[in-house]
Structure formats: C-alpha cells, structure tokens
Chains A and B, each alone.
Chain A
Amino acid sequence: MKLSVTKVCITYLLLLFLVSIAMVFIPGLDVNAFDPNVVITGPQSPSLTHWLGTDDLGRDLLLRCLDGAKISLLVALVSVTISTTIGTLLGVLAGFFRPLDAIVMRFVDMMMAIPTLFLILILQVILTPSIWTVVSVIGLTSWMGTTRLVRAEVLSIKERVFVKAATARGIPTSRLLFKHVLPHALNPVIVSAMLGMGSAILIESVLSFLGLGVQPPYASWGNLLENSLKYLKEAPWMTLAPGAFITISVLSIHFIGDSLRAKLDVKDRA
C-alpha cells in the first residue's frame, strides 16, 4: 500500500516535469495566447475548451499551470542543491575538525535566529528579483538544518572503528572525509533534501505571489496566484488551480520523503 502511494507520487512529479518541458517543443502551442474578448468580458469559468478556465487575459489556466510547473520544480531542485551542498560541507567541517565546530555552529545558531522567510523577502527587495536571485537566496538561507544533521552524523561516525583504522593507516584527511566518513552520513541528507524541495516550492510561491519572486514572462505557480487575489470573487478558479498544483506536488514530495526515510532507516528528528 505504502509503496504504491510512493510510486504514484513519483510518477506524478516526473510526468508533470516532462510534460512541462515537452510543451516548449510542441509547434504551434502558445501558452501565452490571449483572447482580446476575454479582456473585456472577464475571466472565463472552466469549460470543455478551457478545462480549468482562463485568467483575466483569456489565457488557458491548465496550460499556464503546466508551463509554470517546470519553473517551480527547477527552482526547488536548484535551490535545494545549493543548500544541501553548503549544509553538508559545513556539517562535515564542524563535525570533523574540533576548532571549526564552535565557529560553524555559532553561525548556524545565528542564522536560525533570523526569520528566514523575512530575510529572503528583504534580500529579494534589495536585489532585483529574478529566477536566479530566488534560487540563490533560498539556497543560501536554508542550509542550517542539513549542517546540524551532518555534524551529528559525523561526530558519531568519527568514533567508529573503521574510521580509526583508516586514520591509523595514515590515509590523507580529504580521502578519509570523502571516501569513508561522508558516504555514511548521506542517508539523512537525502531525506532532508527531499523535504527541502517541498519547502522551497512553498517559499517560491510566497515570493512570487508577492511579486518578489519569479518575474513574467516566466510563469510559476506562485506568480500565477499573484493577480488572482483581485479576482477572488469573480474568478475563484484562478486561485484554486495553481494552489492545487502546489499542494499536490508538495504533498507528493512529502510522501516520497517519508518512504525514503523508512527505506534508508533514518530517524525522525521532529
């Protein structure tokens, strides 16, 4: 039962991503095709021609949501890659080298005391928002959890016999770290990276919703919601569709993360 839910989730995310990419290569398909009549009459409700309705410019919402999927998923993927890399490196350094431990962990404490979402918002205001700033700002502000996880793992791995044996054989420290210590610390990192994708999608959606994230002409689920607040009364489908895509995708990621946790036998540190 559990396994099949996971498979459904993986299939859904992969299909969504592939369709979203493939749409770029379909000749004659214009996701931004607008309808001048709609601009006058207002957003169209869901119908057989437009399954999820249209926005205020008459653009098909289903196509826009599918088109936005690749940006939302890529933003999550790249920012998590950044935060996981930083988090893992700092965690290994802190766990393995005693003098660095205090400095790195103090820095982690400091970053943890700053409200992340608000810091991201301010950085986005100062920088000119674009896909790249969104990706780097999310990546640079969400590595602290990974550092803590990796440090704790490394601290315990360091005391295991095979590490002591390797040290006694006199192999170089870098080789010891990357060949012997790190591979044993990776399971919790994989799980937290998976869950991190979920929160990255959510953060991107908040930023873009406020107009401080992914900018048009690129569509993301967040910026599809940006002007839907204005049409909440007349055109609720403009709000419902992108939000549903976000929720279902993040939920899938959580399910996959949870089964990875079980499979890799990672303790839950809630």
Chain B
Amino acid sequence: MVLKRLLGAIPLLVGITFLSFLIMRLAPGDYTSMMMDPRMTQADMAALRENLGLNQPIWMQYIKWLKAVLQGNLGYSYVTGKPVLGLILERLGPTLLMSVVSLVLILVITFPLGLLTGAKRYSAFDGWVTVLSFIGQSLPTFWLGMILILAFSVKLDWFPTSGYLDPMAEVMGGFASIKNIALHMVLPMLTIVIGSIAGFTRYFRFGIIRILNEDYIKSAKARGLSDKRILFKHAFKNAALPIVTLLGLELPGLISGSFVIEYIFAWPGMGQLGIQSAFSRDYPVLMGLLLMTSVLILAGNLLADLGYRWIDPRIKHS
C-alpha cells in the first residue's frame, strides 16, 4: 500500500516538473541572454545555443534539465549569479520557524473552538463563531497585515513594523537575539493565524458533528452515559485523529500561502525571496521556488495519508 502510494506520486512529480520546465521556457529570454556579450556575433550566439543544447527537441532538453535538478542543480539566479538551491535553502529557516509556530498556535485555538461549536451546533455561540470566521475568510491577508502594523506598530508602538533581527540584538546574541526575533514574529504570525482560524475551525466542527452521529456514540448514549462523559471520553479523542493529517496537508500550504505576508513584514523567508524575484524577473529562482513548494506539498500529502493509515486502523481495513 505504501509502495503503491509512493509510485503514484511519481507521475505527479513528472507532470509538475514538466509544467515548471515549460513555463520557464515560456519566459522571455533564455540563459544565453545572461551570458551575452556585446562583442559576440550572430554566429557566436548560434554556436552557444548549439553548445547548450537549446536546438534539441523540447523533451530532450527537459530530460537534461531534470537530470540536473535531481542532482540538486536548480540553475543560477539571473540577478546574483548564485546557485538557486543555495538561495532557497538560506531562506528555509525563517519560513519554517514562522509556519510551524503559526500552525501550532492555529491548532491550539481552533481545535477547542471547533469541538465546542460542533458539540453545541446552532447555539448562539456557534452562530457568532460562524459569522466571525466568515469575516476572517473575507479579509485580504495582506491588508490585515497592514492594519495590524498600523494599530500595533505605528499607533501603539508595541512591536516593530518589519524585519527579522535588528543588528544591535544580533551583536548581543543569545537571549537578546531570540527575544528580538520573537518580537518581530508577533504581527506576521497573528496575520497568518487570523487568516486561517476560519478554515480550521470549520474542519474540526464538521469532524465532531460526524463523530457524534456514529453508532458507538449512540450506543454510549443508550447505555445512559452522561453527555459530558461521551464528549470527553469518546468523541474528542477521535476528533483529534485528523490533526496528524492536517499537519501534512496544511504546513506546505501555509508556507507557500504566506509569501505576501513575508513581503509586507520584510521577513527574510522563501516568500519574500519569491516576491523579490518576481519584481526582478529572476525566473530561475521563481521556478526553483515553485518546484520546491510543489514537491513539499506532494510530500506533505503523502505523509498525511500514510500517517492517517498508521493511527487509524479503520482506514486500513475498509
């Protein structure tokens, strides 16, 4: 089963890489334009193109490119000339830090919220949470970020407007650095969390509603167990199962979804790199990022699937 899933991911990977490759070829200019020299003649250019294999059929170029990618060579940035893989890996740390902490916070908030609203469906509390989550879903996240900067940095001056680590704090090192990073993290994290509360709460709410309709809950009720006992002993534990799946499914999405937030808060992650590369038309970096995030999403889906089979034997037997 595991093997089947792994094999199933291969055509997807081929598809994604081929699409990335095609899009990159769609981009104006190829890598000869980067190496161009005013002294070169038309004949020199043609020779260069021949040497680089740009005259070969597209599928042969794709295979050549794929071989390089599999060896970790994602090409070189048009702007800095540095290897793309290195540029992306440099940014991985801040992005992972932000997304993991946000995801934990989101789960801590939305799991109880979803259970409460689901268990007390159609109550006034449920209604209010629904309306609030509608509003949360309707806010453009980048705008929410700007509003938070306006309120908490400009007006109240509680948190820095943007950045990651001030030079002063970096010099001091140790606890001062950590505190400084944490301060810079509050507002972008809050933006991500507010933007995601709605979806996650709805997810857990539906989970608990489905569980409360299961036969084992009905039989527990028939045996005369109290509502409280049924909820805490029987329902909530099972509602927690999908959290494992959610981690795999949502973490990559959170990483690729928060790039505008990183840009607004000047958080030096992959997202900010993406926007900067978009502005400078740095196609190799853009494609490298697209490829990396797609693979991350695919891997996350796979892990979520396998993890779920592992913790919930019902899936295996059905």
Say whether A associates with B: yes
Report the minimal beta-carbon distance from A88 to chain B, rounded to whole angstroms. 22
A254 with B137: in contact, given A206-B260, A270-B203 (CB under 8 Å)?
yes
* Chain B interface size, under 10 / 10 to 19 / 20 to 34 / 35 or more: 35 or more
A115 with B206: in contact, given A125-B286, A205-B140, A229-B146 (CB under 8 Å)?
no
When A and B form their complex, what is the total count of cross-chain residue pairs whose Cβ atoms lie within 8 Å? 123
CA gap between A239 and B19 in the complex, in Å: 37
Report the minimal beta-carbon distance from A128 to chain B, rounded to whole angstroms. 10
Collect the chain B residues with CB atoms within 8 Å of residue A118's CB: 256, 259, 274, 289-290, 293
CB closest chain-A residue, reference B252: A115
B184 CB–A CB distance under 8 Å: no
CA gap between A253 and B138 in the complex, in Å: 9
Report the minimal beta-carbon distance from A259 to chain B, rounded to whole angstroms. 12
Query: Are B15's CB and A110's CB within 8 A?
Result: yes
Contact with A along B263-306 (1 / 0, CB 8 A): 11000000000110010010100110110011001100100000
CB closest chain-A residue, reference B264: A229
Chain A, 253-270, CB within 8 A of any chain B CB: 253-255, 258, 268, 270
- With beta carbons under 8 angstroms apart, the residue of A107, A125, A205 that contacts B281 is A125
Query: Are A115's CB and B297's CB within 8 A?
Result: yes
Collect the chain A residues with CB atoms within 8 Å of residue B294's CB: 113-115
B143 CB–A CB distance under 8 Å: yes
Q: Which of A63-71, A179-187, A244-252 contacts B (4 or more CB under 8 A)?
A: A244-252
Query: Are B274's CB and A247's CB within 8 A?
Result: no
- With beta carbons under 8 angstroms apart, the residue of B138, B146, B290 that contacts A250 is B138
17 more contacts with CB within 8 A, not counting A118-B289, A251-B138, are: A110-B12, A110-B16, A115-B252, A115-B294, A118-B259, A121-B274, A122-B290, A125-B286, A205-B140, A205-B143, A206-B140, A232-B154, A236-B154, A250-B138, A250-B140, A254-B138, A255-B134
16 contacts between A and B (CB under 8 A): A106-B15, A107-B15, A115-B253, A115-B257, A115-B290, A118-B256, A125-B281, A126-B23, A126-B27, A232-B154, A243-B143, A243-B147, A246-B140, A247-B140, A254-B137, A270-B206
Interface residues of A, Cβ cutoff 8 Å to B: 106-107, 109-110, 113-115, 117-119, 121-123, 125-126, 198, 202, 205-206, 209-210, 212, 225, 228-229, 232-233, 236, 239-240, 243, 246-248, 250-251, 253-255, 258, 268, 270
